[in-house]
């Protein structure tokens, strides 16, 4: 089987490719534009595999995508290419609209034109798996879970762009018959994550003895999913999911943002030595800062469908996954130091809208 992975140099995409090369016999084509968050160092261990190929290309450019589809002749496309950081989408929505909406439409049309004339057996077996987020559903109250039938109610430019891309994928199935699958996942974490995200950002700030900024009161709730658990779920959906269906993928690990940072500090206290000068406990570095505009209060995933139909369950608890993550960042400064040598140095993003944001609920 040949699988094209878009966004394969990103966090989840690179984890997906490492899994495919290490645990399956499939051939993999990695199509990635290599934006700021794309990092081929995340794939250094598999770059020499005869079953792996990388091409730098943009999903928004049909003239690049179409020849790759014709040359590689995939049996499946795993679509992970996306702009993904909420704070960046607040500062600048345009790249999110361009990549997540326009790019998905261009990719879908290129794939449809490739798929339509395939021989009947290959056409029937082909799959297009679109990887999305639980943020498309908006914010939950104190109780309840997002299901596959929860109405969309996105809050940020990022989540609105992903909601639009989900609708496009489903429209290409209903209108043209393209055999699609959609997944909506909760917050991912683990090794190789770009340090604008909460967990790696807090780890690296703590190791440098810097303030650990927590938005608002820190009681926003997220469901945390270890990235290796996520890619196993994606593979199960690709292999056995029902065409046209959506599958929610969550870690069964609801945590407040403050609780995440406090637990991370406890892990660092135990395993990260020596501490920065003058720091008795890493939790002493925690500070509270102005909340993000439009910050959703709670996300929580009902992942019973993917468990019931496809037999998937997460293997990591939050404590085990978090400790693995912290140990990886401690053991791999060469990876994250190269990332921080670029344009991003851990500064806060997403403040540009605050003057016009009004009251944040």
Active site residue 158: yes
Backbone angles phi, psi at 76, to 5 degrees: -155, 150
Confidence of residue 338 (pLDDT cuts 50, 70, 90): confident
**147 domain residue, yes or no:** yes
**266 domain residue, yes or no:** no
Total domain count, the chain: 1
Give 2's contacts (C-beta < 8 A, 6+ positions apart).
26, 27, 28, 29, 72, 73, 74, 75, 76
Catalytic residue among 135, 228, 254, 316: 135
Backbone angles phi, psi at 316, to 5 degrees: -95, 135
Active site residue 135: yes
**59 domain residue, yes or no:** yes
Residue pair 224/186 in contact (Cβ under 8 Å)? The answer is yes
Confidence of residue 355 (pLDDT cuts 50, 70, 90): very low
C-alpha distances out from residue 122 to 2, 78, 107, 210, Å: 12, 17, 19, 54
What's the pTM? 0.93
pLDDT of residue 346: 53
**247 domain residue, yes or no:** yes
Is the pLDDT assigned to residue 199 strictly greater than 90? yes
**182 domain residue, yes or no:** yes
Closest CA to 42 of 318, 227, 205: 227
**237 domain residue, yes or no:** yes
**293 domain residue, yes or no:** no
User: Which percentage of the chain shows pLDDT scores above 90?
Assistant: 87
Give 346's contacts (C-beta < 8 A, 6+ positions apart).
195, 196, 201, 204, 205, 210, 340
Catalytic residue among 27, 32, 83, 134: 134
Give 210's contacts (C-beta < 8 A, 6+ positions apart).
285, 346
Least confident of 87-96, 192-201, 332-341: 332-341
Which two tokens mark 156? 């940020």
Query: What domain range is 40 assigned to?
Result: 2-194+224-254+300-318
Q: What digits encode the pLDDT tens for the residues 11-68?
A: 999 999 999 999 999 999 999 999 988 999 999 989 789 999 999 999 999 999 999 9
C-alpha distances out from residue 71 to 4, 16, 67, Å: 11, 22, 6
What pairs with residue 146 in β-bridges?
Answer: 301
Active site residue 134: yes
Catalytic residue among 114, 158, 215, 299: 158
Return the CATH number at 187: 3.40.50.720
**95 domain residue, yes or no:** yes
Helices assigned H by DSSP within the chain: 11-23, 62-72, 86-91, 94-96, 104-115, 120-125, 157-176, 198-207, 227-240, 257-271, 304-310, 318-331, 333-340, 354-357
Residues in the chain: 361
pLDDT of residue 349: 61
């Amino acid at each position: 089987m040949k699988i094209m992975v878009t966004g394969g140099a990103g966090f989840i995409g690179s984890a997906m490719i490492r899994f495919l090369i290490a645990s399956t016999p499939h051939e993999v084509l990695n199509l990635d534009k290599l934006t700021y968050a794309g990092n081929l160092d995340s794939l250094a261990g598999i770059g020499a595999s005869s079953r792996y190929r990388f091409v730098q290309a943009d999903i928004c450019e049909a003239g690049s995508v179409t020849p790759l589809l014709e040359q590689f002749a995939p049996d499946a496309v795993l679509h992970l290419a996306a702009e993904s950081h909420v704070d960046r989408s607040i500062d600048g929505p345009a790249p999110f609209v361009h990549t997540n909406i326009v790019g998905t439409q261009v990719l879908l049309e290129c794939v449809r034109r490739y798929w339509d004339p395939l021989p009947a057996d290959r056409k029937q077996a082909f799959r297009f798996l679109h990887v999305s987020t639980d943020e498309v559903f908006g914010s939950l109250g104190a109780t309840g879970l997002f299901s596959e039938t929860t109405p969309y109610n996105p809050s940020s430019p990022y989540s609105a762009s992903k909601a639009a891309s989900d609708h496009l994928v489903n429209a290409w199935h209903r209108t043209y018959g393209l055999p699609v699958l959609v997944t909506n996942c909760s917050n991912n974490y683990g090794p190789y994550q770009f340090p604008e995200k909460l967990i790696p950002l807090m780890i690296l700030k703590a190791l440098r003895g810097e303030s650990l900024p927590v938005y608002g009161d820190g009681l926003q709730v997220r469901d945390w999913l270890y990235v290796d658990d996520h890619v196993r779920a994606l593979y199960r959906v690709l292999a056995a999911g029902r065409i046209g269906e959506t599958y929610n993928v969550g870690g069964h690990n609801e945590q407040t943002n403050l609780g995440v940072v406090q637990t991370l500090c406890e892990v660092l206290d135990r395993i990260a030595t020596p501490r920065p000068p003058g720091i008795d406990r890493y939790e002493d570095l925690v500070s509270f800062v102005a909340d993000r505009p439009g910050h959703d209060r709670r996300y929580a995933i009902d992942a019973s469908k993917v468990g019931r139909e496809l037999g998937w369950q997460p293997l990591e608890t939050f404590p085990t996954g978090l400790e693995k993550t912290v140990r990886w960042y401690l053991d791999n400064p060469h990876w994250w130091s190269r990332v921080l040598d670029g344009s991003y140095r851990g500064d806060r993003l997403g403040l540009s809208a605050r003057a016009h944001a009004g009251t944040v609920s």
